[in-house]
Structure 1
């Protein structure tokens, strides 16, 4: 199977998984009102969506590895691994906010973000009605339009970020925001890293930074950014909460300067 054919499969599975997540959210609201808690519904939706993706991969690509948020890792034999976040932005999902997504990447090589190479990706935001896709060497796309990161930010950069759930980390995250705001026009916090990175690829954000992301949070989005002409870099890899920085060339470089301790 060519990279392009693989990309089409990734997109098809992401579309089906997004439809399921959206449907389960609607059904779960009614169920939570009578039989259970919404938190239980969200947890089960996460698991069910990941099962759907894993089952599709097993049927179509039985030799491929799988790394999922809910079901862990299988190494596989083909040298390719599917890296999956079934619902990225579960708090948004629980609260009925549209900014959640299904994030699927296929990577080649060791199942380690510092060692793999991105092959194909899809980020489906089903309520927003947008499916972002990318294939190695073929660019990043949305509805037939090729995406490109922003090259210039004359009025200052519009940046995205996110915060960890542990209250002990909030002071550090807010201190980093204060440092980064010296180069920013404004800040957005969508609540889904995959959507944030998709928006960088689409030029809706100039850059993005966040600590403590897992591989499945950023794998697909990083491929989108790179195929749209930008960069995604991880810093402080020996820390408990590595930093991810993404953006077009100028913004990416400036963020690295600031976050890495420069001016």
Structure 2
């Protein structure tokens, strides 16, 4: 679809976009889930909403990193998570995450009680390290650089060894799960952006937390010591 040309529609701002590919991918995933898991509920970023009776919900991000996808950058993926409650969940409700990166063909699966794998091969256990020795991945929209949110972000950023902003939260999480980065943090993250990667990081021996700081909720995930350091920095401890 991208090769034939895709128009992008703006949602909340110029970098928050959606294309026909997002909607087509979500429809394809929903069709498969409705066929294979008819009793499960479904919630999708692009509007999919199906009630279920099983007590489990699939949370779908059909294209995570749509801006990258539309601009021809390779850092994007499809992601979904299975949770044991409704669409808005706590960290203990996620059962499983799955992320597929079409550009490389890599598929990741894992969860808190399921050892995380890449293309069926178990990922090595994460190596714990403090924030001062960590590669962090993050994102903050420029309008938030000022004020309380910007101040909290600056406290966390100042403690890292090095920083990356790559544009796909779920793929950032996969970089952590395979030991290429160490910790991620971002505020006001929807479940479809947060839960798939959080599940797989936890399946590789990492941690995932939501901490309230500067008036917003921050998603923090990665190796345990760096996660604790980021949370403390965000809170100003």
Task: Please report the TM-score for the alignment, with normalisation by the length of structure 2.
Answer: 0.87
Q: Distance between the aligned counterparts of 2:105 and 2:183, measured in 1? A: 23
What residue is the counterpart of 1:163 in the other structure? 140
Structure 1's consecutive aligned runs of 4 or more residues displaced over 3 angstroms after TM superposition are 37-42, 172-177
Asked whether 1:197 is paired with 2:179, we answer no
Q: Distance in 2 between matches of 1:163 and 1:208?
A: 12
SS state at 1:242 partner: strand
Whole-angstrom distance in 2 between the partners of 1:187 and 1:231: 19
Does the 8 Å contact 2:152/2:214 carry over to 1? no
Contact 2:18–2:66, Cα closer than 8 Å, also in 1: yes
Long gaps (5+) in structure 1: 1-23
Aligned alpha-carbon RMSD (Å)? 2.4
**Structure having the larger proportion of residues in helix:** 1
SS where residue 236 of structure 1 aligns? strand
Aligned residue pairs, count: 229
Quick check: 88-97 or 195-204, which moved more? 195-204
Name the counterpart of 2:69: 93
1:60 corresponds to which of 24, 29, 36:
36
Contact 1:197 1:218 in 2 (8 A): no
Deviation at 1:135, TM superposition (A): 4.2
Distance 2:89 2:3 in 1: 34
Question: Quick check: 1:151 aligned with 2:151?
Answer: no
SS in 2 for 1:226: helix
Alignment map for 1:22-41 (pairs within 5 Å): 24-28=1-5, 37-39=7-9
Tell me, what secondary structure is at the counterpart of 1:25? coil
Match for residue 19 of structure 2 among 15, 40, 43: 43
Could you tell me whether the CA contact under 8 Å between 2:166 and 2:172 is conserved in 1?
yes
Contact 2:39–2:54 (Cα < 8 Å) also in 1: yes
In 1, Cα distance between the equivalents of 2:44 and 2:152?
Answer: 29
